[in-house]
Every structure is written in structure tokens, then in C-alpha cells.
Amino acid sequence: MPAKLKLAEWAPDFGGREIHPTAGVVAVGARKPLVAFNVNLDTDNVEVAKEIAKVVRASSGGFRGIKALGLLPVPGGRAQVSMNVVDYEAAPLYRAVEVIRMEAARWGARVMGTELVGLTPAKALIDSAAYYLQLEGFEGRRQVLEYHLIGSGGGKHE
């Protein structure tokens, strides 16, 4: 660690580069919440899902903040575009769904449904609801009942 602290890329965000004699050093990483999100297609052709995944994932020139794979979760079942959305604000779920919908149509397929795996920030869902419902002047923090019940209402649509 002493050698790493001398490197520019290891410069601490806070404090100096010295190691505390009794407490040592602590490294903490932080990121936005990951949204595990799948889009199910009406085809069993996994190649279609793989081609669509290439279009939406960041590493292929798609959405910044999306990692995607095309897969067949159950042998003989329906193909799926499985995504880890690592920045749901840069790549809103509704945008990913709409691009997948358009790409699927190019391959003669349709989106049959979507699924969340695990937890997701409320904002990711509220943004999608606002888009699909075309809510005018929508302020999620003010207008969603649950925000008020947990005591965080009043702010602008976070």
C-alpha cells in the first residue's frame, strides 16, 4: 500500500497520502445502485437476443450505463435480453425497453414483458411511469403517496 499511495491514480479523495500509524488506511468504493432488469422476447432464438444486447450495451456503442447479454434462461423457453443497468439515470429503463422493442421488430420478434431481479430505486420506476403515462408536470416526490408515508415527500421528482 505505501507504494500504491505514491501513484497518481491512488491519490486519496480526502486527506493526505500518509498511512496512519495505528489506524492504517481504508479504501471505500461507492457506485449508484445496480438495476438488474430483463426483457423477455416472444422468440426462442437466442441469437436475436444476443444481437439486440449488442445494440443496447455500452461496450458495443449502446447506452452508457448498461451491460447486456442475450440468453435463453430456460432451455426451450423464450429468449431474453438480460441487463445490469449500472447508471439508471444515464440509461433510463424505458429507453432501453423502447430500443429493444424497435430492434426486436427488425428481427420479427416482440417484447413480451420485463422483469426486475432484486431491488431497484423508486426513481427508476417513477421515471418509466412518467414516460409511458405521459404525465405532465409530474413531481414524483410530491405526488407519490409512499414518499409521504416514509417522510421524504416534498422534494422535486428525484
74 Cβ neighbours under 8 A, 6+ residues apart: none
pLDDT of 154 reads 55
22 found inside a domain: no
**What pLDDT, on a 0 to 100 scale, did the predictor assign at position 116?**
96
57-106: pLDDT as tens digits: 999 999 999 999 999 999 889 999 999 999 999 999 999 999 999 999 99
pLDDT digit string, tens, across residues 107-126 = 999 999 999 999 999 999 99
Q: In terms of C-beta density within 10 A (0-12 exposed, 13-18 middle, 19 or more buried), how is residue 53 classed?
A: buried
Q: Is the confidence at residue 31, as pLDDT, over 90?
A: no
In a domain, 83, yes or no: yes
pLDDT-based confidence at 157, cuts 50/70/90? very low
Higher-confidence residue: 98 or 15?
98
Structural domain boundaries enclosing 40 = 35-119
Number of domains in the chain: 1
Q: Hey, what's the cell of 33? A: 445502485
Q: Scanning the structure block, which residue is given the C-alpha cell 423457453?
A: 77
In a domain, 68, yes or no: yes
Higher pLDDT, 80 or 139: 80
| Residue 23 covered by a domain | no
Distance of CA 76 to the CA centre of its chain: 28
Has residue 155 got a pLDDT over 60? no
CATH label of the domain that carries residue 91: 3.30.70.670
pLDDT of residue 98: 98
Instruction: Classify residue 74: in a domain, yes or no.
Output: yes
**pLDDT bucket at 13, cuts 50 / 70 / 90:** confident
62 lies in a domain? yes
Tell me the β-bridge partners of 20. 24
Residue 58 lies in a domain: yes
User: Judging by beta carbons within 10 Å of its beta carbon (0-12, 13-18, 19+), is residue 30 exposed, middle or buried?
Assistant: exposed
